[in-house]
Amino acid sequence: MDRRGRRSGKGFHEAPLVLFTALAVAGAGIAGSRILLAVAGQGGWAPGRWEAGAVATFLVVGMVASTFHLGRPLRAGLALRGAGRSPLTTEVLALGAAVATAALAALLPTGSALGEVAGALLPWLSLLVLLTLGSVYRLPGQVGWGGAAAFRPLALGLVFGMVAQGAAGSWIAAGPLLFVFLLVTLADALLLVLHGRRLDRVRRRAEPSHPAVFARRRLFLAIRLVLVDLAGTAAFLLGWASAAVVLLAAGVLLDRVLFYALAARWTNEGEVGWIERLLAETGAR
Amino acid sequence: MNTRTREGAPARPATAGFLLDLGRCVGCGACVLGCRIENRLPAAISWRRIVPLNLARFAGGPTYFLSLACHHCDDPPCVRGCPSGALRKRADGVVMLEADLCLGCRYCEMACPFGAPAYDADAGVMTKCHLCHERLDEGRLPACVEACPTGALQLGGQGAAEPPERRSMPAWDAPGFVDPGSAQPALRLVAPSGEIRGARFVALLAVLAEAEAEGKEPGRG
User: How large is the greatest C-alpha to C-alpha distance in chain B, in angstroms?
Assistant: 53
Per the structure, the count of domains in chain B is 1
pLDDT digits (tens, 9 = 90+) for B101-131: 999 999 999 888 888 999 999 999 999 999 9
**pLDDT given at position B4:** 36
CA distances from B164 to A73, B161, B168, B190, B196 (A): 52, 9, 9, 11, 21
Q: Is residue B67 part of a domain?
A: yes
End-to-end CA distance of chain B: 40
A271 touches chain B (CB under 8 A): yes
Residue B169 Cα, gap to closest chain A Cα (Å): 17
Q: Is residue B180 part of a domain?
A: yes
Cβ-Cβ contacts under 8 Å, B98 against chain A: none
* Sign of the torsion angle spanned by Cα atoms B210, B212, B216, B221: positive
Using the beta-carbon criterion (under 8 Å), do A82 and B85 form an inter-chain contact? yes
SS3 state at A79? helix
Q: Is residue B220 part of a domain?
A: no
Q: Is residue B171 part of a domain?
A: yes
Q: Is residue B75 part of a domain?
A: yes
Q: What is the CATH number of the domain that holds B64?
A: 3.30.70.20
**pLDDT given at position B144:** 97
**pLDDT given at position A4:** 39
Comparing alpha-carbon positions, the chain B residue that sits nearest to A13 is B106
Q: Is residue B164 part of a domain?
A: yes
Residue B121, number of CB atoms within 10 A of its CB: 14
Q: Is residue B174 part of a domain?
A: yes
Task: Flag the least confident range among A2-11, A120-129, A179-188, A219-228.
Answer: A2-11
Comparing alpha-carbon positions, the chain B residue that sits nearest to A77 is B84
ipTM exceeds 0.95: no
Q: Is residue B219 part of a domain?
A: no
Q: How many whole angstroms separate alpha carbon A79 and alpha carbon A83?
A: 8
- pLDDT band, residue A236 (cuts 50/70/90): very high
* pTM for this entry: 0.86
Q: How many whole angstroms separate alpha carbon A237 and alpha carbon A253?
A: 22
Task: Find the mean pLDDT for residues A234-251.
Answer: 95
**pLDDT given at position A58:** 97
Cβ-Cβ contacts under 8 Å, B110 against chain A: 137, 139, 141-142, 263, 265
Question: Whole domain around residue B141: which residue ranges?
Answer: 4-214
Q: How many whole angstroms separate alpha carbon B109 and alpha carbon A137?
A: 12
Q: Are B30 and B149 in contact (CB under 8 A)?
A: yes
